[in-house]
Structure 1
Amino acid sequence: MTSPILELRDVVTKVNRNTPEELTLLKGLNLTINEGDFVTVLGSNGAGKSTLFNTIAGNLSIDSGDILLRGKSIANESEERRTRFLSRVFQDPKLGTAPRMTVAENLLLAAKRGQGRHLVPRGLRKSLPHFKEITATMNNGLDHRLSTPTGNLSGGQRQALSFLMATLKRPDILLLDEHTAALDPKTSQELMKTTNDRITEEDLTCLMITHHLDDALKYGNRLIVIDNGQITFDVAGEEKKGLTQEKLYSFFSDLDG
């Protein structure tokens, strides 16, 4: 039986607090994520998708409500402390990696996440065979560029590295924030397939924001729609498999197909 790993209870998140520009972005949002859920997240621009991720990751503090990890509140934990159990891949390939460090050095940093900020160079050599093995699974030549500074990689290779770094130490929660959106269609689909394979094989718990309805329908066991700071549609299992793009379009009209 699945059990909740993450719960958002009546979460309210505001920005520009106590100013004339104050905005309430999440409006009493409730969401329960079970172990092993792969949730695709849809919503029009400004609906609250990125705010949801920023709230879960600790980039934004909540104004009321609660966030629980396995039943324990994490609402007051810092963004840094949440990296112990949470990983995130952003839309921009330049985020999430250190450009002047090599591919192998970036992977070593990811391997030592939660163990302090220092890099131990002598631990790099013995890790190289493992790093070569896991980068080869991306099927994009990354395994031949372990000594290449990350800033010299292609966008697709850099994003593949970001994904590997995010999943190297199995996170409790993986957030994919439109992680294929900045790539060309072929590279995007290759990374999306690898992403799905990794999530499925390792039974990761993942939320993935996407603007592509076909990806939202094809991948994951669950789909949610966010509108005006609340979850307005939540479907899983066989019901999700029966969804069509036309059905989704009835919830909102300005997503890219």
Structure 2
Amino acid sequence: MTKTETPLLSLKNIVTKVNVNTPNEVMILRHLNLDIYAGDFITVLGSNGAGKSTLFNTISGELPVNDGRIQLKDHDITHLSVEKRTAFLARVFQDPKMGTAPRMTVAENLLLASQRGKRRTLRLRRLKQSLPHFKALAATMNNGLSERLSTATESLSGGQRQALSFLMATEQHPDLLLLDEHTAALDPKTSAELMTQTNQRVTQEKLTCLMITHHLDDALKYGNRLIVLDQGQIKYDVRGAEKAALTKDKLLSFFDTIE
């Protein structure tokens, strides 16, 4: 990254509140600033209540910005709707049940994802013609998903369903991918397998990605950049060689200083 490089996404002096105009009003993000560059794979750490999910909800438009500005390249998207942001943004949630249509088959879900951000018209869905592509895509997950294209999604295992959610989110190569603790609900073996495939796809496709995780080992192992949130602000931002040299003990010692 050079000083002259333009960020893909910029959050400028962002304030996000919940329960606005009530006695329970709370400011979660406190004048937060963050520049995200094309190709960044950023792991996001922070204790409970630090603002990680609020950051993702603010970027995705689920929560309105109370002050500040969000800019995508040269466009101000501060007040852009959630629906319109899906043209350039995709998200995978912690719960494997989110992000997929349970009664639709694996292939039908992938077909739906292939139309993300495109103009909807009345036309034949051409599912049969897409099956070879979907089978090859599902095979990259190495978990048997490619043999279950005609299976209703609700009948998949949790790991297969989350793998499908990930494939759906990345099928159209979004400008920005948000991974919201997407392996947290899985057993350790399945979680590790999905993380391996996540890293491979994100790096090979040069996707720009933010990933919330509570696993320090994953935060250190994956990505080119690591940020730590505390009390609604970014207190630590390390990248490149500096991140590669970071150890678990050093990271733990940093958490000790902000608690």
Instruction: Verify: 1:198 aligned to 2:201, yes or no.
Output: yes
Instruction: Verify: 1:27 aligned to 2:49, yes or no.
Output: no
List gaps (5 residues or longer) in structure 1.
Answer: none
Range with bigger deviation, 91-100 or 106-115 = 106-115
* CA–CA distance in structure 2, aligned partners of residues 92 and 244 of structure 1: 30
SS at match of 1:186: helix
Which one of the candidate residues 163, 178, 182 is aligned to 2:181?
178
Q: Partner residue of 1:134? A: 137
Give CA-to-partner distance per residue, 1:212-236, whole Å, 9 cap, x none: 0000000000000000000000000
Instruction: Verify: 1:64 aligned to 2:67, yes or no.
Output: yes
Where in structure 2 are the equivalents of 1:98-109 lying within 5 Å?
98-109=101-112
* Distance change >3 Å, CA 250–CA 215, structure 1 → 2: same
Q: Partner residue of 2:47? A: 44
Normalising by structure 1, what TM-score? Answer: 0.96
* CA–CA distance in structure 2, aligned partners of residues 217 and 71 of structure 1: 32
The answer to whether the 8 A contact 2:45-2:228 is kept is: yes
The answer to whether the 8 A contact 1:109-1:119 is kept is: no
* Distance change >3 Å, CA 51–CA 122, structure 1 → 2: closer
Q: Partner residue of 1:92? A: 95
* CA–CA distance in structure 2, aligned partners of residues 71 and 129 of structure 1: 38
SS at match of 1:231: strand
Deviation at 1:87, TM superposition (A): 0.3
Count of aligned pairs between the two proteins: 253
Letter in 1 for 2:10: E
* CA–CA distance in structure 2, aligned partners of residues 108 and 119 of structure 1: 15
The answer to whether the 8 A contact 1:178-1:210 is kept is: yes
Deviation at 1:122, TM superposition (A): 3.8
What percent identity do the matched residue pairs reach? 68
The answer to whether the 8 A contact 2:88-2:117 is kept is: no
Which one of the candidate residues 79, 82, 94 is aligned to 1:76?
79
Instruction: Verify: 1:248 aligned to 2:254, yes or no.
Output: no
List gaps (5 residues or longer) in structure 2.
Answer: none
Give CA-to-partner distance per residue, 1:13-59, whole Å, 9 cap, x none: 00000000000000000000011000000000010000000000000
* CA–CA distance in structure 2, aligned partners of residues 219 and 120 of structure 1: 41
Deviation at 1:147, TM superposition (A): 0.4
Runs of 4 or more consecutive aligned structure 1 residues displaced over 4 Å after TM superposition: 116-121
Where in structure 2 are the equivalents of 1:128-167 lying within 5 Å?
128-167=131-170
Which one of the candidate residues 217, 222, 229 is aligned to 2:220?
217
SS at match of 1:252: helix
Letter in 2 for 1:44: S
SS at match of 2:126: helix
* CA–CA distance in structure 1, aligned partners of residues 31 and 166 of structure 2: 31
Letter in 2 for 1:76: H
* CA–CA distance in structure 1, aligned partners of residues 119 and 149 of structure 2: 23
* Distance change >3 Å, CA 101–CA 46, structure 1 → 2: same
* Pairwise CA RMSD: 1.2
* Distance change >3 Å, CA 94–CA 47, structure 1 → 2: same
Deviation at 1:66, TM superposition (A): 0.2
Deviation at 1:120, TM superposition (A): 5.5
